[in-house]
Amino acid sequence: MHRLALVWFKRDLRMADHAPLHAAAQYPAAAALYVVEPQWVHSPECDAQHLAFAAEQVNALCSDLTARGLPLLIRWGSMPAVLAALRRDFPFTDLLSHEETGPLWSFARDRAVSAWCRSVGVCWQQWPQSGVIRGLRTRDGWAGRWQERMDAPLVSVPTRWAGAAGLATGAWPQREIASAGHGRARPLPPAGQAAAYRTLERFLTERAARYRQDLSSPLTAPEGCSRLSPYLAFGLLSMRQVHHATEARIRDLLAERSVSARRFAYSLRAFAARLRWHCHFMQKLESEPHIEVRNVARVYDGLREGHFEPRYLEAWRSGQTGYPMVDACMRCLNATGWLNFRMRAMLVSFAAYHLWLHWREPGLHLARQFLDFEPGIHWSQMQMQSGTTGINALRIYSPAKQQRDHDPRGEFIHRWVPEYGTSAYPAPIVEEHDALERARERMFSVRNTAAAREEAARVQHRHGSRRSGLPDTQRRRKPATRARTSPRQATLFTDESE
């Protein structure tokens, strides 16, 4: 029997460094498939911008693949049903895809696909596409394995495939998507792999020179940061491609032996570290998919749930809290779909501590606003910035200090909150001093217990980074990281990133 391959595209919408595409070239006939899944479209994290961005990429990919002989079929429906229908026209024997570290619905979907494949005798082969390790037993040695994977050569792209003939291509399901009621998408970054490369190249050759200085302020970060996150989240670039290009650029700069080139390389090192953080945070969701909906450290269960104030959530997500830096950041994000790391963290800290909101609902709002929504990074960061991981120092951001440090002349605030300073602008929604006193007391009433320390040790063992490179058992535990906002000290561990 001829073996026939079906390449299943998900969040890997590219041709380069694509192991399933490479493998498909070995088959006498192959087709490719992208499925717009109702579970995604109707999920609370999905927004019109995600769908519009995916549509542009899929259409571009469709032209690229078709030109090389491989038809890309676009379908709407649940995966097992789509696969079963397609198999009637194209009796594929092998399903080839990348692994995905996604939300719980995609985890359940993968189980259903796996069961379907077993039931009909299709062989499903999956390849990793980042540094995330499936079935990881211990975090010891993780950084070394990440390095090995990233340093491996890129997978070559075949110039032609033996594409299956006569299959209906299908089209983007506009009507079904419209019925989900997502509304209009906001302006998107340029689509296509060429645009992704251009963004990477311009960053590595020009913009990254000031990366370290520019990444914290919302005024300078839009130009100073790489802006690669949507391209990485939808897989237009693989992490390995970005890693290779960055390391090559660092080597070239160091070979120049000038002070300015050395400075540039130093800036790029900060960027390179974040590429590892990307996978480090995704690994947490891969290892424990339920952290999308429940606390990483279970001792914090019940701490905020009973205090949820819908009025606060509404004011926060519409940029009407009366804290100008918070409101400016939220309005900027809502309009553009992007915000730099520090300002994202400040928004979450404000929701978690000033407003004492549980992280799940704010996290869903942000997931819809971030074009780069990456579940593994997102939910890990939501919990880290809300103090529910048990292993990170409590970080409570003062909006006034962020304003002084990163928008001293108020340019950013005036751009996004033009009514600031007039009677049209609301008074602060909570009194900061009292709100934070209460938040600290509540946090430390749990954090200082023996149960919290035990839980922190468990979490550190399962998810914490091993920066020393030593196994967890041999590593001398770092002394408690002092909580910056309180004179009281809890026994804490540290994690890899801010």
Ligand X SMILES: Cc1cc2nc3c(=O)[nH]c(=O)nc-3n(C[C@H](O)[C@H](O)[C@H](O)COP(=O)(O)OP(=O)(O)OC[C@H]3O[C@@H](n4cnc5c(N)ncnc54)[C@H](O)[C@@H]3O)c2cc1C
Footprint of ligand X (CB under 6 A): 215, 225-229, 232-233, 271, 274-275, 277-278, 281, 340-341, 344-345, 348, 370, 372-374, 377-378, 381-382, 385, 497
Q: Which is nearer to ligand X, 229 or 389 (CB)?
A: 229
- Closest contact distance (angstroms) between CB of 328 and ligand X is 16
Q: Which is nearer to ligand X, 40 or 76 (CB)?
A: 40
- Closest contact distance (angstroms) between CB of 449 and ligand X is 26
- Closest contact distance (angstroms) between CB of 375 and ligand X is 7
Phi, psi of 208 (to 5 degrees): -65, -15
Q: Is 75 helix (H, G, I), strand (E, B) or coil?
A: strand
Q: Which residue type, as a one-letter code, is found at position 190?
A: P
Q: What is the dihedral of CA 248, 253, 257, 262, to 10 degrees?
A: -120
Q: Which is nearer to ligand X, 103 or 324 (CB)?
A: 103
Q: Is 170 helix (H, G, I), strand (E, B) or coil?
A: coil
Q: How far is CA 345 from CA 333, 341, 394, 498, in A?
A: 13, 6, 12, 9
Nearest to 351 by CA among 387, 391, 375, 380: 387
- Closest contact distance (angstroms) between CB of 64 and ligand X is 23
DSSP 8-state code for residue 358: -
Please report the sign of the dihedral spanned by the C-alpha atoms of residue 216, residue 219, residue 222, residue 223. Answer: negative
Q: Which is nearer to ligand X, 170 or 376 (CB)?
A: 376
- Closest contact distance (angstroms) between CB of 307 and ligand X is 20
Q: Which is nearer to ligand X, 75 or 354 (CB)?
A: 354
Q: Which is nearer to ligand X, 199 or 486 (CB)?
A: 199
- Closest contact distance (angstroms) between CB of 419 and ligand X is 27
CB 20 within 8 A of CB 72: no
- Closest contact distance (angstroms) between CB of 347 and ligand X is 7
Q: Which is nearer to ligand X, 90 or 370 (CB)?
A: 370
Buried b (16+ CB within 10 A) or exposed e, 155-193: beebeebbbbeeeeebebbeeebeeeebeebeeebebbb
Q: Is 128 exposed, middle or buried (0-12, 13-18, 19+ CB in 10 A)?
A: middle
